[in-house]
Amino acid sequence: MDPAELKYTKTHEWVSLDGDVATIGITDFAAGQLTDLSYIELPDVGRTLSVGEDCGVIETVKAASDLYAPIAGEVVEVNGALEDDFDLLTNEPLGDGWIMKLKVANATDVDALLDHAAYLAHCETEEH
């Protein structure tokens, strides 16, 4: 996916909207922070999420990081391949490493997210 066409959160999730279904994953920045992945917990299909709701966990040997719902909606699909191949998440976070797909409850949630330039500026503040 073209990073410039995605929307982002300050907690390093990305969103790609296709009609009323949003594909969600973690950013390259977040993936770069992950080393020695040991476990991933994905949300259940059918679960309804609110904006900012904790919906999963990515664990490394040293730490656990929560996944947050960047928009509200119902989980319609999760990427089960991640549970067997952690490298997808770290090597292809904007491609085959996507995490879940949501049926969007409110399209204006996407408008509230950061564009690519604003997200990059946010990452710069975290690196310093």
Per-residue pLDDT tens digits for 80-115: 999 889 889 989 999 999 999 999 999 899 999 999
* Dist. CA 25–CA 64, nearest whole Å: 16
Per-residue pLDDT band at 77 (split at 50, 70, 90): very high
Instruction: Give the domains, in start order, of the chain with CATH numbers.
Output: 3-108+115-120 (2.40.50.100)
Predicted local distance difference test score (pLDDT) of residue 61: 87
Residue 50 CA to residue 73 CA, distance in Å, equals 7
Q: Exposed, middle or buried, 116 (CB in 10 Å: 0-12/13-18/19+)?
A: middle
pLDDT reported for residue 75: 98
Average pLDDT along the chain: 92
More confident residue, 21 or 2: 21
Q: Could you give the percent of the chain with pLDDT greater than 70?
A: 98
pLDDT given for residue 33 in this prediction: 83
The confidence band for 128, taking pLDDT boundaries of 50, 70 and 90, is: low
